[in-house]
Amino acid sequence: MKKVIIIRYAELFLKKKNRGYFERIFFENMEKALGEIPHVLHKNCGRYLIDGFAEEDIDEMIERLKKVFGLHTLSVAYETASDLNSILEAALLVCDDEGTFKVASHRGDKRYPMTSVEISRTLGGMILSKYHHLKVDVHTPDQTVYVDIREGGTALVFGKFIDGANGMPVGTAGKGLLLISGGIDSPVAGHMIAKRGMRVECLHFHSYPYTNEQAKEKVVELASTLSAYTGVKKLFTVSVTHIQEEIHEKCKPELMITLLRRFMFRIAERHALRIDAQCLITGESLSQVASQTIEGMTSSNSVVEKLPILRPLVGFDKNEIIDRAVKIGTYETSILPYEDCCTVFLPDFPAIRPKLRDILAEESKLDVEGLIQEAFSTLEKIEL
């Protein structure tokens, strides 16, 4: 008898002839997540088994695996011989000796001489003969002993299912570029798109020295947290300080944010094309702030010529976004009091419904291409 971890995948079962491709990427992503931890990962009839690990590594392995998209549930189980005495030995290890319980059996090997119902009934009686303070409750038990009879004379015995991240394996839906700030929204947006199988790389705009080094470190921390889900270990940063100074000096203050965001989208699209990304991703939520009205979003879209813009949070309210940020572990970092570039030269009354003709008139006062090229000269890649 030995301990194993059972991995069950999520939507991959819907795939038909190309399921093998998705399974291969899923396998590779689990291997990357487990990294340096000694283990052996096997594919086993529509699920995966991990063995060869040390007892002290189990908790860390579970935490890492829970962040791998495509994983539906996992269980820590005992793999044993399929005779009832061997199964009983394992069942007594996963079952408490008091309270209520039931046995749920699955007979994957249809040649096994007992049906699933017979296995459950017989094993339940054997457990009761050992644990006299236990009682059977098949409707709302305190605990369930799961038995899975496998081919080859083996059985898997476990006590619970642990939820995974679900979704699709990262790397099966192309690559996108996330415009990541130090706020709550953008990391959640990146997480949601990565859950659908997209490889997500990050680009951050900063305004040093108007924003301090701690603001940058905050974004590095957010990108690092996100990388546990995406597997991407780098962050790109670009300074927009001079762009903001030029807008502040030459343009109407109420259009400051709109003009800045148009520069950001131009820079982001060019960088995305350089790294072969197929879309831009933002954390915008309709009407959350002045720049996220439909007019503001339309203005941003108008400068992006070749790529789609994905806004996974567009219909979410703030509480829904916060709940997701808490769940994925970015919220506490996002609320640290270090401001990002969008707060620099912030006007008292930003335009809520900017008109494109007014924006173009103000933008004509700027050397757009020169400012973009200068910004690209500050491009930095940070290894996470």
The pLDDT of residue 64 is 97
SS3 280: strand
- If one compares 94 and 348, the residue with the highest pLDDT of the two is 94
**10 band by pLDDT with thresholds 50, 70 and 90:** confident
Q: How far is CA 371 from CA 157, 213, 303, in A?
A: 63, 23, 15
What pLDDT, on the 0 to 100 scale, is given for residue 343? 61
**Residues 76-119 pLDDT 10s:** 999 999 999 999 999 999 999 999 999 999 998 989 999 999 99
Average pLDDT estimate for 319-345: 86
What confidence score (pLDDT) does residue 33 get? Answer: 96
Look up residue 350 and give its DSSP letter: -
Query: What is the pairing mode between strands 199-206 and 234-239?
Result: parallel
Which amino acid is it at 46?
Answer: G
Q: Are strands 40-44 and 143-150 parallel, antiparallel or unpaired?
A: unpaired
Give the single-character DSSP code of 317.
-
Is residue 52 over pLDDT 70? Answer: yes
| Average pLDDT of span 149-153 | 90
pLDDT computed for residue 131 by the predictor: 96
The answer, yes or no, to whether residue 340 has pLDDT greater than 70, is: no
Distance CA(289)–CA(74), nearest Å, equals 40
Tell me if 384 sits within 8 A of 220, measured CB to CB. Answer: yes
Structural domains in the chain, sorted by start:
2-163 (3.30.2130.30), 175-383 (3.40.50.620)
Mean predicted lDDT score pLDDT of the chain: 93
Residues 204-248 pLDDT 10s: 999 988 888 888 899 999 999 999 999 899 999 999 999 999 999
Between 354 and 333, the more confident residue is: 333
pLDDT tens, 294-306? 988 888 889 999 9
**pLDDT tens per residue, range 20-41:** 899 999 999 999 999 999 999 9
* The pLDDT value given to residue 344: 63
Q: What percentage of residues in the chain have a pLDDT greater than 70?
A: 97
pTM comes to 0.91
* Residue 360 in tokens: 């173009």
C-alpha span between 375 and 381 (Å, rounded): 14
DSSP β-bridge partners for residue 81: 154
- Split at pLDDT 50, 70, 90, the class of 15 is confident
Preceding amide of 337 cis, omega within 30: no
The residue ranking higher by pLDDT, 349 or 134, is 134
pLDDT above 90: residue 345: no
Q: Alpha-carbon distance 9 to 169, whole Å?
A: 10
* pLDDT band at residue 152 under the 50/70/90 scheme: confident
Within its chain, how far is the Cα of 52 from the centroid? 27
Edge-to-edge strand list for the sheet holding 199-206: 309-310, 280-281, 175-179, 199-206, 234-239, 380-383
